[in-house]
Structure 1
Amino acid sequence: MGQKVNPIGYRLSLTKDWRSRWFAQKRSTSESPAFGDLLREDLKIRSYVKEQLKQAAVSKIVIERFAKRIRVTVHTARPGLVFGRKRQDLDQLKEKLFKLSGGNEIIIDVKEIKKHELDAQLVAESIASQIERRVNFRRAMKKSIQATIDAGADGIRIRCAGRLNGAELSRQEQYREGRVPLHTLSANVQYGVARATTPAGIIGIKVWMCLPDNIEEILYATNAKKGKVSKGTKGKPGRQRAKK
C-alpha cells in the first residue's frame, strides 16, 4: 500500500506537519464557524494565492488561524514576485484575502526557498512547464533528476503519465536514481504533483524525493555554514517503463 498513499499524509505528526493549523467544531456556533466552512475557505485562499502567484514558484501555502486573525505563509523560490514594486502586489493580495476570509485580519509571511532543486513540488511544476514548451519529457525528467542529485538529495523518482510526445495511446514512464523508501516512516520523503496541458491532452507529473534530515537548514538557509548536505551518487538515471 505504500505506493498508493500520499507520502505527506502518511507521515503527518511524525516527520511532516499540517498545512492548515486551526481547530473548529463540527457545527457552527456564535463564536466560530463550522469545520466545513473553514476548510472551504482555506481551499479558496490557496486557489487564489496559487493563481495570482503562478509565476512566483510557490511550493506550499500554510494557513494558521487565531481568534480574528489568519496567518498565510507562502513558501516560494521567487519572493520578489510576491512583494512586487514597493510591496504593492503584497498589499493587493492582502486586501483580496481580507474579503475572501469574511473580514478577518490577514498576515502574510513569505519564506524563501534557497534551493528549488530540493523541493518536490517545484521540480514537478518545472517539468510541467518544460513539457508545455514542447521540451521532450525524457530530457526534462533526466535533467531534473541530475540537478536534484547534484544538489544533495538521497534519491528521486519522477513519473509522467498521459499521451507522451503526442502518442495515440496513453502510457506512463518513470525514471529514478538513489533511494526513495515509501514504507520507512522516519524517511524524509517529499511529494509533488503537477499537470501539463498540451495539444494532445493533459500529462500528469509526480515526483517523490528523499532528502537528508538536515534539509530544512539547507532549503531555507537558516544555518548555511553549519548545514552540509552529502552529495548523492552521480550517474545516468535508471529508466522504468510501467505497464498500462
Structure 2
Amino acid sequence: MGQKIDPRGFRLQVTKDWSSRWFANNQSFASNLIEDIKIREFLMKKFGRRAAIGRVIIERPAKSIKVTMFTARPGVVIGKKGEGIEQIKKELQTMTTVPLHVNVEEIRKPELNAQIVGDQVAQQLEKRVAFRRAMKRSMQAAMKLGAQGIKIETSGRLNGIEIARSEWYREGRVPLHTIRADVEYATSEALTTYGIIGIKVWIYKGDMNVNKANLFKATKEEDKTNRKPGARKPAPRKRKVEKDAIA
C-alpha cells in the first residue's frame, strides 16, 4: 500500500536511486554497510542542521570511497580556503582503509528538500514555536517555490499535552500510489522539554517522464523467474465481439 510504505523504497529504480551505490560480495557487504552508517552519522553529528544537509550519497568505485554531500550551505562545510573539507577528509579517512574523496553539492532550493524542511520544523519546535505555525510556514514556502503538494505530520506531546497525538496538514496534492510521481520523503526529530516530537515530510514536485517498458520490466522478469520449468504460457484471452457490430 502506497500509504504505508516508504515512498523512497516504493519508487526505487523508477524515479529514485539508492543513497549507497556499490556492489559487494557476502564477506565485505556487512563491513561496507557499517562504514556507510558511521560516515553518515559522523557527518550529521558534526554539521547537523547547521549546514542544512539534505542528502549524503556514498559510492565505491575501484577500491575507493566517494562521498557526496548535498547541502544548502556549502560554505559551512568547505570553510575558509577549503580548510573545513580537508579536515573532514582526515577524520573520515580514519574510519576506512581505502582512499576517500569528499564532494560538496549545493541545493539551490532548500524549501523543496524534504530533509531540510523537516529539520527546519524541528528547530522551530525546539524554540517553542507553535507546531501549527511551524508547519504552515514551511508549507507556504514550499508551495511558493513551485511544489505541487506538500504534507507534514507531527507526532508526540504537541504543545506539552499529557497524551501524545498526531496532526498533519496538506496543501496541494500528494499522490502516494502513483509510481511516476516525484515524491520526496524524510523524517526528523525535535528534542523538546516534553519529549521527542517526530516529524514526517512529503513533497510532491510533479510527475516524471518514465518509459512504460521500464515500469513493467521488473514485473515481467519476476514472472519469468517464478514460472515453473516446462510450464505453458497462459493462453491469450479471446476478444468478445458483439453480434450487433458484426451485423
- Smaller-chain TM-score bracket: 0.7 to 0.9
The corresponding residue for 2:245 is none
The corresponding residue for 1:182 is 176
Aligned-residue RMSD, C-alpha? 1.0
TM-score, normalised by the number of residues in structure 2 = 0.82
What is the alpha-carbon distance in structure 2 between the residues aligned to residue 212 and residue 108 of structure 1? 31
TM-score, normalised by the number of residues in structure 1 = 0.83
The corresponding residue for 1:88 is 83
Displacement after TM superposition at 1:69 (Å): 1.3
1:195 aligns to what SS in structure 2? strand
The corresponding residue for 2:22 is 22
Contact 2:158 / 2:164 at 8 angstroms: preserved in 1?
yes
**1:202 lines up with 2:223 in the alignment:** no
What is the alpha-carbon distance in structure 2 between the residues aligned to residue 56 and residue 25 of structure 1? 35
Out of 120, 126, 137, the residue aligned to residue 132 of structure 1 is: 126
What is the alpha-carbon distance in structure 2 between the residues aligned to residue 213 and residue 72 of structure 1? 29
Out of 57, 60, 63, the residue aligned to residue 62 of structure 1 is: 57
1:143 aligns to what SS in structure 2? helix
Unaligned runs of 5+ residues in structure 2 are: 209-247
Aligned length: 207
Read off the aligned partner of 1:154 and give its amino acid letter. Answer: Q
Contact 2:157 / 2:164 at 8 angstroms: preserved in 1?
yes
Read off the aligned partner of 1:101 and give its amino acid letter. Answer: T
Displacement after TM superposition at 1:213 (Å): 5.1
Change (3 A) 1:213 1:80: farther
What is the alpha-carbon distance in structure 2 between the residues aligned to residue 190 and residue 209 of structure 1? 5
Rg comparison, structure with higher value: 2
Q: Where has structure 1 moved over 6 Å in runs of 4 or more?
A: none
- The percent of aligned pairs where both chains have the same amino acid is 51
The corresponding residue for 1:240 is none
Query: 1:157-172, aligned counterparts within 5 Å?
Result: 157-172=151-166
Unaligned runs of 5+ residues in structure 1 are: 28-33, 215-244
What is the alpha-carbon distance in structure 1 between the residues aligned to residue 89 and residue 8 of structure 2? 28
What is the alpha-carbon distance in structure 1 between the residues aligned to residue 102 and residue 47 of structure 2? 13
Read off the aligned partner of 1:82 and give its amino acid letter. Answer: V
1:93 aligns to what SS in structure 2? helix
Residue by residue over 1:61-80, the C-alpha shift from the partner in whole angstroms, topping out at 9 and shown as x without a partner, is 00000222111000000000
The corresponding residue for 1:192 is 186
Query: 1:11-50, aligned counterparts within 5 Å?
Result: 11-27=11-27, 34-50=28-44
Residue by residue over 1:41-99, the C-alpha shift from the partner in whole angstroms, topping out at 9 and shown as x without a partner, is 10001110111121100001000002221110000000000001121111110011111
What is the alpha-carbon distance in structure 2 between the residues aligned to residue 172 and residue 193 of structure 1? 14
Residue by residue over 1:12-39, the C-alpha shift from the partner in whole angstroms, topping out at 9 and shown as x without a partner, is 0000011101110012xxxxxx111100
Q: Which has the larger helix fraction?
A: 2
Residue by residue over 1:138-190, the C-alpha shift from the partner in whole angstroms, topping out at 9 and shown as x without a partner, is 00001111111111000000000000000010000000011100000000000
